[in-house]
Structure 1
Amino acid sequence: MENGKCNGSSASAAAMHVAMLVTPGMGHLIPLAELAKRLAARHGVTSTLLTFASTASATQREFLASLPPAIESVSLPPVDLSDLPADAAIETLMSEECVRLVPALTRILSGIRERRRLVAFVADLFGADSFDAARDAGVPRRYLFFPTNLHALTLLLHLPDLDVSIPGEFRDLDEPVRLPGCVPIPGKDILMPLQDKSRACYRWMVHHGARYRDADAILVNSFDAVEPDAAKVLRHPKPGVPPVFPIGPLIQTHCAGDDDAAAPPSPRAACLDWLDRQPDRSVIFVSFGSGGALPTEHMRELALGLELSGQRFLWVVRSPSDEGEVSANYYDAETKKNPFGYLPEGFVERTKEVGLLVPSWAPQTKVLAHRATGGFLTHCGWNSVLESLVHGVPMVAWPLFAEQRQNAVMLTEGAGAAIRVPESKGKEKIAAVVREMMVGEGRGAAVRAKVAELQKMATDGLRDGGAATSALDEVVDKWTGGDN
């Protein structure tokens, strides 16, 4: 977004076009769409977002329909994954779907190239095998878009070597994993798909880490200030490692006058109106993202902890995850049952003066931007982390799956932007962490100050001449001089 506009042009680059492969999950789609918006607004580059049929949900369709005219979308053909085990991990499903789509993707990219000046192909983190399709279609440049942070990227770039040097499981390590420029990560907090080496998803992640080296460059949705040492190391990569460009934070934006295209109107209005009636920085926003759900026991302890904390809260409540994994909502973000029925008896009535419960969904960026929001209890999904930092909201970390535990370590031990909920998840400990974040004079005050500092640096990086804007300018400059 540039100068308040969602679309723009630059005569020198008006004909350039980029194709972007979006592997499943709104957490992958949103930052790539924001990258496409920035390319259109600042450089006049048009884009095609290529999405998987497996995630053609109503939420995704409405989101795609809300994008500006410079960004079109194409749904790739369905892929049969029925031969995979019933318990196949999300990472395995996405990786297999990508590989099986290569022939169809080659045809689609060839077709785009016939109609447009297709200067680059961008694949997100589970889509590196699609580089084969881009190469076969004659696309001149192939980029990896990494929607999470430099810590996670560093781990995956080193994973083929770690696979050889660490024979046992990460979770059994006595010492944390130490990587160049990164906060030491305890083995149990390493990415979830790496926690069982016997599973297919582990082998896939090793494979992706090796294939990342085939990229011409890696674009990362992070910024130097939040992980400065990792950024410094990756700025001068070893031979064979692609150059890395931190171009974030890319978070969801809207054109002036637009509303949330995928938003149900009544909950949105209710929660923002409720926030309007609360004092400044007094409310902790509680949400576990579009794909996260808690076990019933943790859901109950969280409710009792919020009550015990005495703090105002706005909680996006989802049905619990007892019947599946904590990532059970990943492919379909709509809650299937009434979530309030799982809360402790009398909780809703007892907390009605200080809390608001919203089923399933809330306009997160608008809640975080609201003057009344003073804290964010989050699953540490990277999109949510960036939205929190951009709006200057300190975090309570309650990670669930994927890379979230590793993010929580980086945020608490490295960036100083969060306080982590203890593993036991007892109501007294939850209450203590929430109180410390909202009104504490020790750790809470330090975190609040650090987040205010990071907010300024994130904002400055997106200005003309800022670090993120200059990094993206450098990438686009390479396109203007090349032929197809």
Structure 2
Amino acid sequence: MESSPRTTHIAIVSVPAFSHQVSILEFAKRLLHLQANTFHITCIIPTLSSSSPAPTKSFFFDSLPHNIHCIFLPSVNSQELNNKGVSVEIQIQLSTSRAMPSVRETLISLSKTTQLTALIADAMNPEALEFGKELDIFSYIYFPCSTMVLSICFHSKNLDEEVSCEYKDHPGLIHLPGCISIRGADFPDSMQDRGSLGYKLFLQRCQRYLNAPDGILVNSFMELEEEATKAISQRGSHGGGDYPPVYSVGPITQSGASSSKSRCECLLWLDKQEPNSVLYVSFGSGGTLSQKQINELALGLELSRHKFLWANLRAPNDRASATYFSDVCLVDDPLHFLPLGFLERTKEQGLVMCGWAPQVEVLGHKSIGAFLSHCGWNSVLESVEHGVPMIAWPLFAEQRTNAALVTDELKVALRAKMNIGEKVVVKEDIVKVIKGLMEGLEGEEIRRKVKELKKLANGAMMEDGSSTRTISKLAHKWKHLGKAL
């Protein structure tokens, strides 16, 4: 799509994962909000054949501003990607790597018809930065996770040399400059099998982060992770260090309605509940639980006697990320896998949804008192923005790292205690953590802390806020400076 001579054209390269696409496109929308009619953005998106165009996803893309144009590349099929045992990270990494020739072709075509100024590549797709160098334009990585996870990535080579065992077997806490010390078991999934292809690809990505030509845009904000940001900045290239510049541009979360239905069933149900009385339960866009865990969670919710909204309920699966790329596991009738009589017994206590809930609207509803979350970073930021305390229940990817951050450092969550032998959170512990957050003194202190973070999050995105100033400076650079300068 051709832009006018006065328009600054930015290219974005995403990955075939809806949560990543939402985050980087919401950043694009934020940029356009600050620089109305002066930017045009083209988002190039590799796809997987297993990706399904769910209605919520279609609505999101259909509602983008007119000056954001998305190009969906043809899906890349291979025997490796069709293997159901391949992890989420490996599927994303391999599919984007195989899409690189198409990405390059698209970028070169854009550069011939527009004044392409900058390239921003998703953190799972750092290979695309080579094309920015080829086109001699500004080139950045968009990192949709926390600064703490970025710190782990920056230190991955040293950690690989210093830790001799598997991280999950490390006997003590592992220290990261500017961050809390955490258990090796809470490191991202990509690091948990050091002999695997996933670990090798992770180390390769981390090395590319260190070589990001013009910097890394992190979906966090200074006031949330101040010490981690300072520790990274002290080793940044501006100070003669070996890290690229890091720009905190968050919290970037989904804005506007997340579905075409203005008042869906769950919002109407929430309207009838008391303020701060409902526990919202959701494991994100692809999280799944085993049959045993579904049974324990259902019974724990029932026994807690607290109101609950359980959304995005999927059929049981022993793989935590079984539906990450697809909504095909959603079913019409949950009766066949929920405990016998559960829905009837809890019909006055809760609402169970097999379909997608408009999470932003749910978290902003006055009746929501807490969020039982898988701790995907988008969900963490949305919870913080709305001042909703959390029960941390991580499943895969970097979610355990996020859970450690929100419970041990930010102290805005309680963590569900898992029975390691059975790899399940039992109903008694579920009741305990729900009551602890919804009723106890500890929960009261958590609610106070998350309300403080809500103010800081909103402040960061105000006109004179820390993240707004950062985005504005980047926009000014892209508009007024050529790469040669």
TM-score, normalized by length of structure 1?
0.92
Give the superposition deviation at 1:30.
Answer: 0.8
| Partner Cα distance (1:150, 1:233) in 2 | 10
Pick one of 281, 285, 293 that aligns with 2:280.
285
Partner of 1:461: 460
| Partner Cα distance (1:58, 1:478) in 2 | 36
Pick one of 8, 16, 22 that aligns with 1:16.
8
Task: Kindly indicate whether the alpha-carbon contact (under 8 Å) linking 2:168 and 2:185 is maintained by their aligned counterparts in 1.
Answer: yes
Pick one of 209, 215, 222 that aligns with 1:224.
222
Task: Kindly indicate whether the alpha-carbon contact (under 8 Å) linking 1:222 and 1:247 is maintained by their aligned counterparts in 2.
Answer: yes
Aligned length: 463
1:297-312 mapped onto 2 (5 Å cutoff)? 297-312=292-307
| Partner Cα distance (2:429, 2:14) in 1 | 39
Pick one of 141, 146, 152 that aligns with 1:144.
141
Equivalent position SS for 1:225:
coil
Residue range with higher mean Cα deviation, 224-233 or 53-62? 53-62
1:38 aligned onto 2:36: no
1:403-414 mapped onto 2 (5 Å cutoff)? 403-414=398-409
| Partner Cα distance (1:75, 1:84) in 2 | 18
Equivalent position SS for 2:372:
strand
Letter in 2 for 1:236: Q
Give ranges in structure 2 of 5+ residues lacking alignment.
Answer: 420-424
Equivalent position SS for 2:375:
coil
Percent identity between the two aligned chains? 36
Q: Deviations over 1:314-357 (max 9, x none)?
A: 001523443x5110111113434333421111111111111111
Partner of 1:331: 325
| Partner Cα distance (2:168, 2:153) in 1 | 17
Give the superposition deviation at 1:90.
Answer: 1.9
Letter in 1 for 2:443: G
Equivalent position SS for 1:188:
helix
Q: Deviations over 1:410-459 (max 9, x none)?
A: 11000011000101211111011111111212x11111000000000000
1:156 aligned onto 2:158: no
Partner of 1:234: 232
1:69 aligned onto 2:66: yes
| Partner Cα distance (2:52, 2:109) in 1 | 26
Equivalent position SS for 1:226:
coil
| Partner Cα distance (1:158, 1:340) in 2 | 47
Task: Kindly indicate whether the alpha-carbon contact (under 8 Å) linking 1:98 and 1:130 is maintained by their aligned counterparts in 2.
Answer: no
Task: Kindly indicate whether the alpha-carbon contact (under 8 Å) linking 1:318 and 1:335 is maintained by their aligned counterparts in 2.
Answer: no
| Partner Cα distance (1:130, 1:481) in 2 | 24
Give the superposition deviation at 1:403.
Answer: 0.5
Partner of 2:365: 370
1:411-422 mapped onto 2 (5 Å cutoff)? 411-422=406-417
Partner of 1:483: 482
1:378-389 mapped onto 2 (5 Å cutoff)? 378-389=373-384
| Partner Cα distance (2:276, 2:282) in 1 | 17
Pick one of 2, 17, 30 that aligns with 1:25.
17
Q: Deviations over 1:113-160 (max 9, x none)?
A: 122221111111110011123323x04111000001011000011112
Letter in 1 for 2:191: L
| Partner Cα distance (2:8, 2:401) in 1 | 37
RMSD of Structure 2 on Structure 1 (CA): 1.8
Pick one of 230, 251, 255 that aligns with 1:249.
251
Give the superposition deviation at 1:49.
Answer: 1.2
Give ranges in structure 1 of 5+ residues lacking alignment.
Answer: 1-10
Q: Deviations over 1:27-64 (max 9, x none)?
A: 10111111111111111322111111216531334421
Equivalent position SS for 1:27:
helix
Task: Kindly indicate whether the alpha-carbon contact (under 8 Å) linking 2:294 and 2:316 is maintained by their aligned counterparts in 1.
Answer: no
Task: Kindly indicate whether the alpha-carbon contact (under 8 Å) linking 2:76 and 2:95 is maintained by their aligned counterparts in 1.
Answer: yes
* Cα distance, 1:162–1:346 mapped onto 2, change above 3 Å: same
Letter in 2 for 1:331: F
Q: Deviations over 1:223-264 (max 9, x none)?
A: 12222211221232242211111111111012xxxx534x5x
Give the superposition deviation at 1:475.
Answer: 1.6
Equivalent position SS for 1:224:
coil
Letter in 2 for 1:326: A
* Cα distance, 1:412–1:288 mapped onto 2, change above 3 Å: same
Give the superposition deviation at 1:84.
Answer: 5.9
Residue range with higher mean Cα deviation, 308-317 or 283-292? 308-317
Task: Kindly indicate whether the alpha-carbon contact (under 8 Å) linking 1:284 and 1:312 is maintained by their aligned counterparts in 2.
Answer: yes
Equivalent position SS for 1:409:
helix
TM-score, normalized by length of structure 2?
0.92
Give the superposition deviation at 1:173.
Answer: 0.4
